[in-house]
């Protein structure tokens, strides 16, 4: 009997409140372990309560890579160097209808055994992955 290895289980993901339920479901349907902020009750109209830094702390505490559409996380590359976290992936999409294209690029990236997300900020846009 041949045992299949599920490469998708290498990471667990946490989607912040900016990440849509449809996109979260898309990744779940691809077999990834994905939780949304709302699964934990971490979505609130009081933006100060669950601001960017708080969402990052939650994802790190849960040992999950943070997925977001919030471009403010790009600044973490400059401001938070040396701060431990489980990883952040920022999807930059000017057209919500094209987000699935970016998610498919992300899925292909995850299939690469060598790609590491831990303690790294990855930017995925229609132009490139950095």
Q: Does 44 map to a domain?
A: yes
Residues 82-105 pLDDT 10s: 678 889 999 998 877 788 899 999
Residues 66 and 55: beta-carbon distance below 8 Å: yes
Q: Does 55 map to a domain?
A: yes
The Cβ of residue 11 has, within 10 Å, a number of other Cβ atoms equal to 20
- 12-44 in b/e burial notation, b at 16+ Cβ within 10 A? ebbbbbbbeeebbebbeeeebebbbbeeeebee
Round the average pLDDT of the chain to a whole number and report it.
Answer: 81
Task: Provide the CATH number for the domain around residue 85.
Answer: 3.40.50
Q: Does 130 map to a domain?
A: no
Q: How many domains does one find in the chain?
A: 1
| Structural domain range at position 25 | 9-125
Task: Give the Cα-Cα-Cα angle 81, 86, 91 (nearest 5 degrees).
Answer: 85
The Cβ of residue 7 has, within 10 Å, a number of other Cβ atoms equal to 12
Q: Does 4 map to a domain?
A: no
Residues 7-29 pLDDT 10s: 445 789 999 988 989 999 999 99
Q: Does 40 map to a domain?
A: yes
């Amino acid at each position: 009997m041949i045992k299949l290895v599920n490469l998708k289980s290498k990471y667990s993901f946490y989607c912040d409140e900016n990440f849509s339920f449809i996109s979260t479901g898309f990744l779940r349907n691809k077999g990834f372990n994905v939780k949304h902020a709302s699964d934990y009750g971490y979505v609130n109209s009081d933006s100060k309560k669950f601001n960017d830094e708080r969402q990052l702390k939650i994802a790190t505490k849960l040992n999950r890579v943070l997925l977001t559409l919030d471009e403010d996380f790009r600044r973490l590359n400059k401001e938070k160097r040396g701060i431990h976290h489980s990883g952040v992936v920022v999807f930059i999409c000017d057209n919500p209808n094209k987000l699935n294209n970016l998610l498919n690029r992300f899925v292909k990236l995850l299939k690469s055994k060598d790609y590491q997300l831990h303690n790294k900020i990855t930017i995925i846009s229609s132009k490139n992955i950095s």
